[in-house]
Every structure is written in structure tokens, then in C-alpha cells.
Amino acid sequence: MAKLKLEHLRADLVADFRAILKAWRVENLIPDLQVADAWRLLHKVSRDRAYDNSHPTYLGKAERVLPFDGRKYCFYYENGANDSHVASLLKAVLSDLQTSK
């Protein structure tokens, strides 16, 4: 199997997905997650990490799960990555989530 272009992001993304699923109290759904669900989770990771508490997404809401770290929202597309690379990363992350506890 070819190495993923975004392999270096895999472990952290697994941890972020797991943190979100736990915060949302839906860890029991991990075996049923599909790629479309992973894209939604990636959107949540990207928002939490890219936008601080002054962003309209978070004003007056307590929905942040992950800490703001200042990365760009499109962080996963840097260094020449495209939708295909991100989709491969998401499939690998789902596999990791579904085969580990």
C-alpha cells in the first residue's frame, strides 16, 4: 500500500475525532461511521482549531470541543494536498477508529 501524503496528520486527527465523538456522547456510533461522517467531523476539527472564541461560530455558544490553535481552516490542504489526499486520510482515520479502542 502506498504511503498516505497526509500520514503525518493521521494520529492527531484520530485523537481529535475521538475527543469530539466522546464530547458529543456518540462513541458507540464509531462502528457505523462512514466517509461522509468523517468529512463532517473534519469540518468540526477545522472550525475548532482555526477559529477563536471571537468568531461568530462561537459567540454565545459553548460548542467548542477542541482548543483553538490558530491553524488555517484549510490546514489539511496545505503543501499540495487535494480532496483525494484528504479522503484517503479520512478513510485511514476511520479504519483506525474502528479497529482500536
Could you give the CA distance from residue 10 to residue 63 in angstroms, rounded to a whole number?
24
- pLDDT tens, 51-99? 998 988 888 776 899 999 999 999 999 989 999 999 999 999 999 999 9
What is the grid cell recorded at 67? 482548543
Residues 6 or more apart whose Cβ sits within 8 Å of residue 45? 13, 16, 17, 20, 66
Could you give the CA distance from residue 52 to residue 74 in angstroms, rounded to a whole number?
15
Helix, strand counts (H, E) of the chain: 3, 0
pTM tops 0.85, yes or no: yes
The single residue listed with the C-alpha cell 503543501 is 79
Q: Count CA atoms closer than 13 A to 47's CA, side-chain side.
A: 17
